[in-house]
Amino acid sequence: MGARFTVGPGQVAGTNFALWAAGAEAVELCLFTEDESGTLRETRHQLRELTHEVWHGFLPGVLPGQRYGYRVHGRWDPWTGARFNPAKLLLDPYARAVDGDFTMPPQVYGHVRDWPHQHIADTVRDERDSAPHVPKGVVVADGERAGESRPATDWADTVIYELHVRGFTRLNPQLPEALRGTYAGLAHPATVEHLDRLGITAVELLPVHHFAHEDHLLRRGLRNYWGYNSIGWFAPHAAYSASGSRGQQVGEFKKMVRTLHTAGIEVILDVVYNHSAEGGELGPTLSLRGIDNRRCYRLQDDARRYTDFTGCGNTLNVLQPNVLRLITDSLRYWVTEMGVDGFRFDLASTLARTAHEVDTLSPFLSTLAQDPVLRTVKLIAEPWDLGPGGYRLGGFPPPWSEWNDRYRDAVRDFWRGALPDVRDLGYRLSGSSDLYGWGGRRPYASINFITAHDGFTLRDLVSYERKHNEANGEGNRDGADDNRSQNCGVEGETDDPAVLALRRRQARNLLTTLLLSAGVPMLLAGDEMGRTQGGNNNAYCQDNETGWVDWSLLETPAWRPLAELTTRLLALRRAHPVLRSHSFFTGCPGDQEGPCDLAWFTTAGTEMTEADWYAPGATLGMYLSGRRIARRAPDGTEITDDSFLALFHAGAAPVEFTLPGPPWAEGYELLVDTSREDQRTPPGVRRRAGTRTMVPPRSVLLLAVLDTPPPTAQGGKTT
């Protein structure tokens, strides 16, 4: 499928073109060149070979760099779902590179967009040529594969950093101007050094499949920034290329992957296969709609209308074998040719739908489960969509991991004082066994996150209680209203030192909780340096300073300590396997004499009872034993580790906490105290077991367990 450069019969170099268009009556391949004056010239070739619904043909002399598109002939009958219109140049869904951008004038619509009677506008065919107004596919030769040497990081050791290729690099002053906002910029030593210094093991890239900007944004002078509007599932988005768009973007992307792999960093793509950029029946005709609308999309009983489980106007018909093939071919291409290590599937429940419901035995999930390439990479589901029964948190089968929004909500609620008790927090800290403790799943089935691209940044989470999305031009109606945020006393920016100090402390608390929890932590790029979007919780169209990472924050005294704390916590997590549990805790001792692998404590230093879990409370002690870990070294030997006690206190007043004595510990050393502004060095304070320790308000204390009591300080009391 697609355009494949090869050597044909008689050793003649050329390109084989193949397009699945089951309902078409004829298919024309259109080749584009420019004359000396820059005028675009189009040459049409009818594809006469038709094999198993695939129109195909070999054209000698067509070389890499050639731009092309298709015109597909067939019936115009929107009432039955047929929307063929050969006046519209269509992008090959298998194109490996795309040159140009969509500007969305009326000519790119298969129907008359500005028809005076909008309720029937989609039924009136537009005969104007769209070729001058749409990007073209580019023939790309097979090159060196990028995935020959992979980090292959174990799930339990993974730390994900969600970033936007353009937004993460656009304002980095250490990058040459020409590389900012590009794949090459992400591969620059200055960028990689930051990721490596933090301790990141995987970057999760917001969509890099070639996408289109929606007409309603372009009319308001905005652009689709996040990229959840895919139209080219094999092509790296050309606007992120520093080297060109005639196929150079492919090589640049591969080089980026190889560079990150050399640094031990995996590459995970956020992918959008649930819908396309063509929208509903009033949307443009860019590719699939003109290739075979009835088979490519899920239509309602009224075939003029689209079934929309995504909120984006349409839903790809994954029940159609060739649409499913398009998706799996794309996934395999990005793994085998482009070198990526996994995928996060936007609105994954949509892909798992059969005719009437979300089904774990759906063709999509079954296909990936048995595919020899795809079953070996990291698969992450956003386990919901907008359709009935679409919320499936905890319901995706092994080997899937899932974005865990219940983790996000529980941790946010705890630190803003909105949890009625600590039951939910206990489950989230220990890996969410209530959601994933079935089918042989592990804690790493839970992708833990406090913030993501969709919503407030970490700084905004503690600075705003209401969204401020006015710049999006939608009357502040877009974006979530339930943010579980707090402004610490003042809405938005302030000079009040007490408010600012509390905000920084709460940011440290949220981040520390995330990195001490069992499961896979995911950080939002820039959170470690205090990035703000000014209260915008839906910056999908803010391709500007609102959406970009402000690297100057790393040099500010106010926010630099947060980056230092992030680095320290990730180093602790990396050094101690008990902090990145491979299996769910049992609550039972690793041996007959030792303590349990996990225990929970009240402020009195006693183990939690059933009644304690249901009692109102803002303080929880979590003990992790490293004496015996349910994980073995590569040579089969048992792994042991230090033990730790973490104290989480969300109350506004300090609280006394009695440190548990034997058999839990003889003493403790304080490693992390989030009440401190300076996080460059650990506190280093030691305490005897059984002593009462004052826990500062709204803070996390992490203590290492000592097997021998520390020396007694002057006066018979520990420090």
Which residues are catalytic, by number? 346, 382
State the DSSP H helix or E strand holding residue 76, giving kind and residue range, or none if neither: strand 76-77
CA distances to 232, 444, 631 from 440, in Å = 36, 11, 15
For 245, residues 6+ apart whose C-beta sits below 8 A from its C-beta are: 97, 98, 99, 100, 138, 238
Is the peptide bond preceding residue 663 cis, with omega within 30 degrees of 0?
yes
Is the dihedral angle over the CA atoms 705, 710, 715, 719 positive or is it negative?
Answer: negative
Please tell me what DSSP assigns to residue 397: P
For 102, residues 6+ apart whose C-beta sits below 8 A from its C-beta are: 108, 133, 134, 135, 212, 213, 231, 277, 284, 286
Residue pair 302/377 in contact by the 8 Å Cβ criterion: no
**Best CA proximity match to 43, nearest among 52, 51, 35:** 35
Per DSSP, helices labelled H in 446-496 are 458-461
Rounded distance between C-alpha atoms, residue 147 and residue 260, angstroms: 11
Rounded distance between C-alpha atoms, residue 517 and residue 521, angstroms: 8
Rounded distance between C-alpha atoms, residue 214 and residue 52, angstroms: 34
Strands 136-138 and 82-83: unpaired
For 62, residues 6+ apart whose C-beta sits below 8 A from its C-beta are: 5, 14, 15, 31, 139
Task: State the CB neighbour count (10 A cutoff) for residue 510.
Answer: 23
Tokens representing residue 24 in the block: 């078409």
Tokens representing residue 484 in the block: 């579980």
Rounded distance between C-alpha atoms, residue 352 and residue 387, angstroms: 12
State the DSSP H helix or E strand holding residue 600, giving kind and residue range, or none if neither: strand 598-601
**Helical packing angle, 560-575 and 189-198, nearest 10°:** 60
Place of tokens 């090959």: 92
Provide the total of helices (H) and of strands (E) in the chain, helices listed first: 16, 29
What separation, in Å, do the N-terminal and C-terminal C-alpha atoms of the chain show?
71
For 126-192, the DSSP string reads --S--GGGS-EEE-B-----S-SS-----GGG--EEEE-HHHHHTT-TTS-GGGTTSHHHHTSHHHH
Q: Quick one: residue 648, left, alpha or beta (phi over 0 = left, psi -120 to 50 = alpha)?
A: beta
Is residue 520 classed as helix, strand or coil in its secondary structure?
strand
Please give the backbone phi and psi of residue 238, each rounded to the nearest 5 degrees, phi first.
Answer: -70, -30
